[in-house]
Amino acid sequence: MSGEVYLTPEELLALKTTFYVQTREMLEDFSSRVLALEGADDCAELLRSLERTVHTIKGDSMALEFEALAKLAHRLEDYFRALRDERTLERRSIDLLLACGDKMSELLEAYCAEPRKPVPEIESLCEKLAPALEPSTREMATVTSYRVTVWFAKDCQMRSAGAFLVRQRLSKLGRILAASPDPETAAIETAPQWVIDLEAASGKEEIRRAARVPGVTSRVTVRAQESKPREPEEDSSFTRAAGSQAGAAPDQLRVEVSKIDRIMNLVGELVIGRSMVTQALSEFSTGDAQGTAADRLSDANAFLERTMTELQAAVLKIRMVPVEHVFRRFPRLVRDLAHSRGRRVDLDVQGGLTELDKSIVDALGEPLLHLVRNAIDHGLESPGERELAGKPPVGKLRLAAFYEGNHAHVVVEDDGRGIDLVRVGERGVALGLIDASQLDAMTPSDILNVIYQPGFSTRETISDVSGRGIGMDVVRESIENLKGVIELATAPGKGTRFLIRLPLTLAILRAVLVEVAGKAFAVPLTGVLEIVRVPRDRASSVLGQGVLQWRDQVVPLISLREALGLPERESATARGRDFVLLVGEAERRVGLLAEGILGEQELVVKPIEDPLARSPGVAGASILGDGRVVLILHTRGLLDRHLSRARRVEVLR
């Protein structure tokens, strides 16, 4: 840029925000395509697409004066140019490209942070890129100085804004030396023409096309002034206009226009509904034909209800993003971790287009990271171990997402050694998480549940991946914060499968309303497997614990009335029947005992802020249509509290 300030701080911040979102997406795609180079029979097309990506990043970085990012992108662009004739790439070349992608991501975060962070050094990477370049490319690049003359269109209302667009497009091709008149002054609005001096390696026609902006320019001429060699990497004396105003990019959603149009149409329908209600109320106020007015109000209410339902669905749809946004970071992770652990892993990613609420997708990365790292470090064997076990040397790791009913399922599955229950039990005793006297009486599911205890690890030595006792407890807590549940299945020598069941959105919660001691409570539908109505005499007792025989399983029962500390009502006793909500929580199955089922409903979740009103068995609250406040129950909190009471009773015995 030529040293002048052309944008207000607010305009620059908006531009940087857009740049951050778009460049972050390009860099994520960059890593995926670099990984695709590994094992590809012909890399030519992939290399060309990668070159186009870094060319775009370079141009946008130059326009925003992100010097180091523009410089590294330019060096990388030259590197790709030098590889154009290559059909296959060595691993070290791919490692270098991945390192460049990581460095560009670091630079992006540093430049867009508020306040701006120190810019990471890039010279070591630039030196590694240099040997692949031809001497002529590395030493000099021929550029030409052009004079670009622009005539504005007659219907261009704001020439200063149009000049900015032209300037931005030309900046991607080279370096702007001067512009007359200054587009920041009022002179640009009345000037017969606008002249830009540009230094670039592009041809006249490419520059002319860049300066042609529909609705802004009517005519463009390009005249070459002189040619001169220059160092391709000379640092531009960029002016940091309003740089201190740049903030970290906020969360953004890129929304299709059709979705916005749908919401606008629904808002228009709501306006019509409001008019219908207003007309009906006016008829009531005049006392004319109140029966007709009541019918009108009923029709208006039905219309508004239908429109609000559609509007709610449309708004929720806007927040939905494909889960591939989090999935695409794992091919790189699996490649690097498998190499460091001496594993050979084939990652199979399925269902990347499955959509979830953006807040869920953003929070899903950490628990999936733990599960994938555990699968490679603990689950999958080395090639030699697999061959001795009669398996292919390459382990299989599957990461999948799909819908089932009103929920989304995410699966992390491997074909490794499985979880050794004996080893888990021994480590649980050694770490003091369970008592040795209880171990023999524990079921396989009880033993598996030990892995979710804080501090548990089967590793006795600490590595950079595991052994610190921080893992599955974090996974379970993260999933619970997303109103989901996690289930585990494992078989010795065959592998392990984690299934995460999640709601589609956190804004609206589907729940079953139950009656307990005459009051309504909500149980999130995510963890409910089945609802059965049973006579009270069907419930048995084992060691003082109520249990229910369900599908060849003995399921412990938790009375919601007792768990919530509510008195029993005589009417409930007279009924002689209870409803049991069979809930799946990790590897545990429990039955929640309620007196009645009031139906299924969508609830808007309201957090409980008062610490005195919080309870381990309560996750939040909501308001029903009749104005009643209903508490949303936290099933694991109820289960943990129930188990702690049971242990205390057992100790007293």
| pLDDT tens per residue across span 518-547 | 888 988 887 788 888 877 655 555 444 677
Instruction: Supply the pTM of this predicted model.
Output: 0.62
Which single residue is written with the structure tokens 């951050």?
A: 20
Instruction: Give 119: exposed, middle or buried? Use CB within 10 Å, 0-12, 13-18, 19+.
Output: middle
Is pLDDT above 60 for 433? yes
Confidence band (pLDDT; 50, 70, 90) for 566? Answer: confident
Which CATH superfamily groups domain 9-138?
Answer: HPT domain (1.20.120.160)
Is pLDDT above 70 for 456? yes
Share of the chain above pLDDT 90, in %: 9
More confident of the two residues 48 and 141: 48
Cα 273 to chain center, whole Å? Answer: 37
Return all residues near 582 (Cβ < 8 A) that are at least 6 apart.
Answer: 528, 529, 530, 531, 532, 550, 555, 589, 590, 591
Cα 168 to chain center, whole Å? Answer: 31
Confidence band (pLDDT; 50, 70, 90) for 119? Answer: confident
Tell me which range, 15-29, 91-105, 301-315, is most confidently predicted by mean pLDDT: 91-105
Q: 591 with 548: CB under 8 angstroms?
A: yes
Distance CA 515, CA 165 (A): 63
Choice among 338-347, 436-445, 487-496 with the minimum mean pLDDT: 436-445
- CATH of span 508-652: 2.40.50.180
What local confidence, expressed as pLDDT, does residue 399 receive? 94
Distance CA 591, CA 174 (A): 69
Q: What is the pLDDT of residues 473-486, one digit of tens each?
A: 888 888 888 888 88
Would you say the C-alpha torsion 487, 491, 496, 497 has a positive or negative sign?
negative
More confident of the two residues 537 and 498: 498
Give the closest residue to 581 by CA, choosing from 533, 542, 537: 533
Tell me which range, 198-207, 370-379, 551-560, is most confidently predicted by mean pLDDT: 370-379
Fold topology of 141-230? Alpha-Beta Plaits (3.30.70)
Distance CA 55, CA 74 (A): 7
CA atoms within 13 A on the CB side of 515: 14
* Domain at 323-420+458-503, CATH class: alpha beta
For the chain, give the number of residues: 653
Give the closest residue to 564 by CA, choosing from 625, 514, 494: 514
More confident of the two residues 523 and 311: 523
Return all residues near 88 (Cβ < 8 A) that are at least 6 apart.
Answer: 40, 41, 42, 43
Q: What is the pLDDT of residues 241-267, one digit of tens each?
A: 333 333 344 455 566 656 666 675 666
Q: What is the pLDDT of residues 97-107, one digit of tens each?
A: 999 989 999 99
Is pLDDT above 50 for 233? no
What local confidence, expressed as pLDDT, does residue 460 receive? 58
DSSP calls for 484-529: -EEEEEEETTTEEEEEEEEES-SSEEEEEEEEETTEEEEEEGGGEE
Taking the domains of the chain in order of start, what are their residue ranges?
Answer: 9-138, 141-230, 258-321, 323-420+458-503, 508-652
DSSP calls for 408-441: EEEEEEE-SS---HHHHHHHHHHTTSS-HHHHTT
Q: What is the mean pLDDT of residues 649-653?
A: 40
What local confidence, expressed as pLDDT, does residue 113 receive? 84
